[in-house]
Structure 1
Amino acid sequence: MFTELVHAIHPHLMKDADVPDFMRNIIQMLCDIPEEDWSTKKDPSSEQANKDSSLRKFYTKGPTKKLAKSMLGRLTSENFIEAIYHDDSLNDRTDTVLESLAEDIQPFAEDVDKDNVGEVLFDLFKQSLDFIVNPELENDRIIASAKEASRKAKGIYGLGLLEDCRHTCSYPGCGKHLQTVNDKYHTANNYEVAGIKGSRSLSYENLIAMCHDCFQNYVFKHTKTEEKDLVTIKKLQSDARSMRQTLDEVAIEKGITKVIYNLSKAKPTQLLSLNYDALRVPEKIDEELYLFLVDEVTAHVTKYYLFIEKTMKDLAQQSQLSDGLLRAQIADSYRKLAEKKKSPEIIYSALSEKIRSITKQDIRFCSIVVSYFIQSCEVFDAITK
């Protein structure tokens, strides 16, 4: 916290000073040093006590416990606050400077403004030194700060982030549901929002929903590998959201619900005699890159293609389905997704989810119907060799 504070205020106080001079000035502002100790080892701002190289380390990594204890024993709010509101020439700092200073430390204290920025900053510096001397207090600050950021993020992006993760913890290996249901079937959201890369910026691209346990573990300490895993998961969630928004622009013929329903009720005897050769699937999906998708679609087409084709013809004859309109809508949906330059797997999944949202049927049957449209050329173009 100490380093975050000094980095936040450096541009506003002594912005032209190099790091050692700036750090010596901050120590002098914070501490009451008797005149007889000036420029001695008892003066923590002196060169005898701390070399320039040490001060540079304190600027980037925080003071040592020894320096923090020394400063805590000499803290003076009066000198510090006076130095915040007045420059070295004892001129009042402008409102613009004070407002900018307050704005940059708002992530640490919500109620700060130009009129109390000196008092708030002193309290924050005292806390930061206490945290260095007693690390347990720092843990409390970290989790309290993270939960405050989570509260703000939930107010802005909460519902969208829950939709992105399907109300399940986003952390790899965790499957906890992010809603609770009581005996009266009342539901409540039960989750936190974490910043993936630790930034204080509340941007959607850096936020992800987690259960409380995973949130706390990630906030306290996480590896670069864990961070990269969450970046990947966030990208998948963002891609899925983008696909859903794209497909919301396209209407799908309501008769498709009947197709899915009939498929879900198909008897084994109706399928055994309808074996079909899936000739076009490998021509439209690169088998070397998407082997499992090719296998899945091929299996669907081989077993169900003729059944779905017959079902659609029968429904069209009964005026329960507009075959041409449905094919045009599926093709239009595919084209809109293809413009996003997403992988065949993402497009296949997005189309399946779209049909599921319309028909309210099992996702398996929806994927089978998407496979049908791949074979019948509404979805995916031939691979260019």
Structure 2
Amino acid sequence: MVEEIKYYNPSCNADNIAEIVTEWVREIITTSSKVISKGEISAAKDVDIRRSLKVKFGDYLLREASDYCTFPGCSQMLYVMNDGKMQYVYEVAVIDKSKKIDLTNIIAMCPRCQGFYDVKRTRKNVQAMKRIKKLLFNRSNAEIRMSEETFERGIVAVISGIEKLKPNELIDISFEPKSIDKKIDAKKYLHLYNEVRMNVSQYFVAVRRILESLNDDGTIDFESLQNQMRMVYKKLVKSRVDAYQIFDEICKKLEKATLQDRLYCQILVCYFIQSCEVFDETTE
């Protein structure tokens, strides 16, 4: 063995061979450890964190996202069918890495969008994902079936609260009802589209019945109510915010004005989206 080592180190002999080989091993280990950059170590940690979050919260996040990628503009399903069996293909994204990692700060995405989001973690993208997460999180927490009596009381309270507000300048325009499909771009705002569609399908008829009853007995002026909702929407459009922000801001205004549960406020806003006062028809 000494002769073999001498080929690489002529000073090698029986007395120092152990020292030379030990030094070589030390150099190999040191060199190998330097090859792994801090970025690669960080990326490896991120993978471990996402894997842990998927095990702990994966089922919840998939239900929250309705099995669709949550990144704006993507409508990729988070599963594939393999031999008739459903196989989930998704990643857990940490929305804001400067914040605590908990259920309010993680969301499900398709692998491609998660990778893109990790690279393009701009302030704009982070804010957009925060709005989407807030919408989905609120919806998930509100999915406790309400009795008809509780539902009606909440809606009436919201409407009564609006009616007690000081009158603002009204917009004297007549609007034709438009369907959800024509008012919200499902490709661009998939989760808002699903949220509105779900609330409309479940509550639209009940809300209309309540509104008509209150209008007939003189409790509210329905036309005035429509105009107020339209005016709030128009002001937000002028500020050039996106559909998620418009929906969130109108719900927030109702919640603050009426001091009622946010779920009722969202249901009422969804009613006015369907009935024509919030969001204009999209252009192809």
Task: Provide TM-score, normalisation by structure 2.
Answer: 0.45
Task: Provide TM-score, normalisation by structure 1.
Answer: 0.35
The higher radius of gyration belongs to 1
Higher relative contact order structure (alpha carbons within 8 Å, sequence separation ≥ 6): 2
